[in-house]
Structure formats: C-alpha cells, structure tokens
C-alpha cells in the first residue's frame, strides 16, 4: 500500500468505466462517508448499536457493584458516543434514554447510596451538549459533501469523461491530483474527434492550485473547438498559444500574480488519410513513448517552447512532425509526476527502461489499460508514494478497423 498525501486516484479508459483506486481514505467528508458505510449491515444503519450496548453495560455493572462504587453517572457517555456516529434525532433519543435510565437505576438503590441531583444535572447537561455537538457535526458533513459535489463538477468540467473507443481510439488514463479539495490540478488531457481526424491533447500547466485549473480549463476549451473545426493541426497549435497568452492577459488585468504562467503540452493528430502515422506538436513537453509488444521507442524531441512562451521564439507555433505509428503501437504520454518521481537516493524513475523490460516479459502490457496501471504502480513504488506534483499517465492507440465501437465516429 502506497501513500501519496492521502490522495485518491482514478482510472478512465478501457470500456469507458472509471474505477476508484483507493490507496488510503481521504480526510474530511470521505472519512464521514466511510464511517457511515462501516456502520451499515445489509443496507441498514447499525450506528445505534454501540451507544445502546454501552448503556446496557453501564446499567448492568452499576446494579452488580457495591454501593460504594456507583458508576451510573458514566451513562453521560452514551449520548456522547451517539453524537459521534448517529444523527441528531438518534442522539436526542439516547440523551433522553440515558436520563430516564439514570433516574430509574439511581432510585433502585437505598437513599444513602443514591448519587442524587448533581449527577442528574451532569447527565442532563451532557445530553444537551451531545445533541448540539451532533448538530454541528452533521452540518459540517453536509457542507463537506456539498464541497465534494462542487469539486467533482469542476473535475468533470476540466477532465470530461471520455466515451469508449472515442474517435476510433482505444484510450486509458490515470490521474493523481495534488489538490485534495479540488480533485483536479494543472494536468489536462482530452480527445476530440472531428471531420479532419481525431486530435489528442495532453499537458501540464506550470504551478498548482485553482490558477492552474483555470488555465487548464481555458486550454481545453480552445482545443475542443479548434481541434474539431480546423483542418490544419498547426492552426490548432497556434490557437492554443494565443489562448494561453489571452488567459495570462486576463489574469494580469485582474491583479493576480500569475501573468507568467505557461503550460507544456503534446498535441497529437490521428489523420484520416494515413493510418500508419500520427502528427505531433510538442510545446516543451517530453516526447511520447511508443510502446508495442516488440519493444519501446521514443519519438523525436520537439523544438517548441511551452504554451505562453512562444513569443520568445518569434517564429510562430512549433512545426508539425509526422511520425510513423504501426497498428497495435500505443502512445504513452506522462506529466511531471512520473518524469520527476525520485527514490530515496534522489534517482529519477527510468520509465523507458522499465517499460522495455516489462514489455519483453509480458507483451500484453502494451495495451492502454494495462500500460497506465503498470506505470502508475511502478511510479508510486519508485518514489514510495511521495509524488511531488500532479501525475497523469495517458495511453492511446488506434482501434483495429474491426474493433471500432459504436461511438468511434461520434462527434461532440
């Protein structure tokens, strides 16, 4: 089991399902959800059982001890326990039940052994405080659940779910965000089918936090429009560069200190007129790896600057390179969380070498879902689960003509 700051990872791809890969429970609302799930049997809540058993135990012990050792006042713990695991009404019921039980049990003893009014007040005040504490807890859990819904909506807006075989491509992705609350960071990816072929964008916005999320959302919005309408991939690349510059101008005008933000990205086009090649534009991003049962090779490094820094080159967007891609070969793209993962000795994770050994031992690792799962696990093992940045592992390849799903040519 690996730890990466209490994070939660999810996988998208394959047949279009997303499975949660929970390494560790998340703090806050997730803990609350897991607690309620653990206190259910066959769909019914059993949260009332612990405080009820405690009430019975205290009453039983009190009746079976000497008069010099009365513990009935301990019954104040019953509504306290209920406040932690039950609802407000359940806590109120236990507060009243504890008070009634106290009165009955105390009066069953001779007068000289009765604890009397002081402990009665203690149990009554303890019950009232437990109800108030439970109300605060429930309100906080509801607020956190609402924030979870907001964060989930943000994630689905930036990293929209991709249908299976979208654009005639078999794809899979693993995303580990560094922002626990937002559940999404500066990494982004998408697939956009269109009349000029299917385009893929994978990238990483410099920095963290909501500013990086905003920049990623701006770039993805431009990609989804330009990737569909523009016939030339170079024009799509130019639109992305202009969009990043416009986004920086906007944030600067708002007085924010992220006017120098940039993004590395890999823009890939799967042309309709050539099933044995892909068009690649690299904006300062590491070149993709081509993984196949026969081995692993790296595409030529790009000569373009990151998005937002293209004006420094003065020559427009980086050129488009057409590179061969045989049937069955998978393109693997990763972000800094993989390339900058270090072990205890400060050594970077040797991704290409490790994949070459894995494919040689098991050729089926080259399939997208197997590939992203393997890279995820090996990256986490290499850095002992301590990822320093958002981590995205994205794998994509063409479907064989006979394997295209019914969504293969759909347009969004």
Determine, yes or no, domain membership for 155. no
- The pLDDT tens digits of the residues spanning 97-115 come to 999 988 888 777 777 677 7
- The pLDDT tens digits of the residues spanning 26-73 come to 333 444 444 444 566 666 778 888 899 998 998 888 888 776 677 788
Instruction: Based on the fold, state whether residues 274 and 364 are members of the same structural domain.
Output: yes
DSSP 55: H
Torsion sign over Cα 334, 336, 339, 345: negative
Contact at 8 Å (CB) between 23 and 4? yes
Determine, yes or no, domain membership for 3. no
- For the record, the structure tokens of 284 come out as 């300062």
Determine, yes or no, domain membership for 77. yes
Separation between Cα atoms, residue 138 and residue 88, nearest integer Å: 8
Weakest-pLDDT range from 64-68, 126-130, 343-347 = 64-68
Instruction: Based on the fold, state whether residues 179 and 261 are members of the same structural domain.
Output: yes
**Closest C-alpha among 51, 165, 151, 62 to residue 115:** 62
Distance of CA 353 to the CA centre of its chain: 28
pLDDT at 380 over 80: yes
Instruction: Based on the fold, state whether residues 204 and 64 are members of the same structural domain.
Output: no
Compute the average pLDDT of residues 294-304.
Answer: 86
Count CB neighbours of 63 within 10 A: 11
- For the record, the structure tokens of 314 come out as 């003065």
Q: What is the pLDDT of residue 199?
A: 95
Number of domains in the chain: 2
Instruction: Based on the fold, state whether residues 309 and 387 are members of the same structural domain.
Output: yes
- Bridge partners, 20 (sequence order): 10
Pick 184 or 269 by higher pLDDT. 269
pLDDT at 128 over 90: yes
Instruction: Based on the fold, state whether residues 314 and 196 are members of the same structural domain.
Output: yes
Residues 6+ apart with CB under 8 A from 73: 102, 115, 119, 122, 123
Instruction: Based on the fold, state whether residues 298 and 199 are members of the same structural domain.
Output: yes
Separation between Cα atoms, residue 193 and residue 220, nearest integer Å: 14
Determine, yes or no, domain membership for 2. no
- Give the structural domain span for 118: 31-150
- For the record, the structure tokens of 109 come out as 């003893």
**Closest C-alpha among 274, 183, 192 to residue 236:** 192
Determine, yes or no, domain membership for 305. yes
Give, for 263, the enclosing helix (H) or strand (E).
strand 263-270
Instruction: Give the CATH number, domain containing residue 358.
Output: 3.60.40.10
Q: What is the pLDDT of residue 403?
A: 53
Instruction: Based on the fold, state whether residues 137 and 181 are members of the same structural domain.
Output: no
Determine, yes or no, domain membership for 360. yes
* Exposure letters 74-88 (e unless 16+ CB within 10 A, then b): bbbbbbbbbbebbbb
| Cα-only R_g, the chain | 29
Instruction: Based on the fold, state whether residues 194 and 132 are members of the same structural domain.
Output: no
Compute the average pLDDT of residues 6-11.
Answer: 43
Percent above pLDDT 90 for the chain: 34
Q: What is the pLDDT of residue 164?
A: 83
Domain limit, last residue, from 150, 179, 194: 150
Domain limit, last residue, from 91, 125, 150: 150
- For the record, the structure tokens of 143 come out as 């607020």
**Closest C-alpha among 222, 342, 207, 198 to residue 263:** 207
Q: What is the pLDDT of residue 12?
A: 56
Determine, yes or no, domain membership for 382. yes
Q: Token pair 């249908």 is at which residue? A: 163
Pick 304 or 369 by higher pLDDT. 369
Give, for 242, the enclosing helix (H) or strand (E).
helix 233-253
Give, for 169, the enclosing helix (H) or strand (E).
strand 169-176
pLDDT at 213 over 80: yes
Determine, yes or no, domain membership for 342. yes
Task: State the average pLDDT for the chain.
Answer: 81
Domain limit, last residue, from 109, 126, 150: 150
> pLDDT-derived band of residue 211, with 50, 70 and 90 as boundaries?
confident
Instruction: Based on the fold, state whether residues 222 and 268 are members of the same structural domain.
Output: yes
Instruction: Based on the fold, state whether residues 257 and 364 are members of the same structural domain.
Output: yes
Instruction: Based on the fold, state whether residues 284 and 396 are members of the same structural domain.
Output: yes
- The pLDDT tens digits of the residues spanning 131-156 come to 999 999 999 988 988 877 777 777 77
Dihedral pair phi/psi, residue 304, rounded to 5°? -95, 155
- Where are the alpha helices (H) located in 65-116, listed in sequence order? 77-85, 88-107
Q: What is the pLDDT of residue 31?
A: 44
Instruction: Based on the fold, state whether residues 139 and 217 are members of the same structural domain.
Output: no
For 322, the 3-state DSSP assignment is: strand
């Amino acid at each position: 089991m690996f730890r990466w700051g209490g994070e939660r990872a999810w996988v998208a791809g394959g047949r279009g399902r997303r499975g949660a890969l929970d390494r560790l429970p998340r703090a806050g609302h997730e803990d609350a959800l897991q607690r309620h799930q653990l206190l259910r049997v066959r769909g019914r809540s059993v949260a009332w059982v612990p405080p009820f058993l405690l009430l019975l135990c205290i009453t039983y012990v009190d009746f079976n001890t000497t008069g010099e050792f009365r513990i009935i006042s301990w019954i104040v713990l019953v509504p306290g326990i209920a406040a932690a695991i039950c609802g407000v009404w359940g806590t109120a019921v236990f507060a009243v039940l504890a008070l009634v039980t106290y009165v009955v049990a105390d009066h069953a003893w001779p007068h000289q052994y009765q604890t009397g009014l002081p402990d009665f007040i203690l149990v009554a005040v303890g019950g009232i405080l437990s109800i108030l504490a439970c109300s605060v807890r429930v309100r906080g859990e509801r607020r956190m659940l609402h924030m979870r819904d907001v964060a989930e909506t943000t994630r689905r807006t930036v990293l929209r779910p991709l249908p299976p075989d979208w654009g005639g491509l078999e794809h899979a992705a693993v995303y580990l965000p560094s922002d626990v609350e937002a559940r999404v960071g500066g990494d982004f990816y998408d697939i956009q089918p269109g009349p000029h072929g299917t385009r893929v964008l994978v990238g990483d916005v410099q920095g963290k936090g909501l500013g990086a999320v905003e920049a990623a959302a701006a770039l993805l919005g431009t990609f989804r429009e330009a990737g569909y309408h523009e016939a030339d991939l170079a024009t799509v690349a130019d639109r992305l560069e202009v969009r990043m510059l416009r986004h920086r101008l906007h944030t600067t005008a708002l007085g924010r200190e992220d006017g120098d933000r940039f993004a590395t990205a890999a823009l890939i086009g799967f042309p309709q007129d050539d099933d044995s090649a892909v068009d690649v534009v690299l904006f300062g991003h590491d070149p993709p790896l081509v993984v196949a049962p026969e081995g692993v090779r790296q595409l030529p490094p790009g000569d373009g600057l990151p998005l937002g820094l293209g004006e420094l080159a003065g020559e427009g967007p980086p050129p488009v390179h057409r590179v061969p891609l045989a049937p069955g070969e998978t393109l693997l793209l990763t972000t800094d969380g993989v390339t900058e993962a270090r072990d205890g000795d400060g050594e970077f994770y040797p991704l290409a070498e490790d994949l070459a050994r894995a494919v040689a031992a098991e050729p089926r690792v080259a399939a997208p879902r197997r590939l992203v799962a393997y890279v995820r696990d090996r990256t986490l093992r290499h850095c002992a689960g301590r990822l320093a940045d958002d981590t995205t592992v994205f794998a994509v390849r063409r479907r064989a003509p006979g394997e295209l799903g019914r969504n293969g040519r759909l347009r969004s």
